[in-house]
Chains A and B, each alone.
Chain A
């Protein structure tokens, strides 16, 4: 079975500041991990994915995440926040086959 915990349901940063969104996972098999972003009243857009290749994964819009097996973490970072990054971010895990199991999401607010 797989599960995801996202620490911090709301994160607020200043424009230009570092963004760090936390995700810890639990999986009984080697996991595939994903970050999705959701803008209001829209579906989910894939930001990046870890599928057992390089542990540092680069995604769209300047985001990246690092898979750390020893810490069972897959935190999402961006060096410099932009106003357009304000959205809800979901971490998800799968055992490589079927359904995604999502965290409860982190709402990112970017302030001037």
Chain B
């Protein structure tokens, strides 16, 4: 089945530690995205990538980094500079021709601080 796989489902971060969230898609989509979801709020865009080896900052990129070395993969690193990392992180993809196409989401990663 085509889809988006996020791992791990739960992740715990210690003070000063960087952690990496995995996102893999087999939909052959060009565009991939990372969103952060906090309780009672809409999703906020962290980073997005239109094509391999290119990515752009979203609205809340500070304290996060990404890479896009392969079309299928778009990992997100939450660095120690992100002081409030506890949230639900969602990866998404779309065909990506114009940036307004249908979005497909993974099952999410819940990140908590120890």
- Do these two chains really belong together in a complex? no
Interface residues of B (CB under 8 A from A): none
Interface residues of A (CB under 8 A from B): none
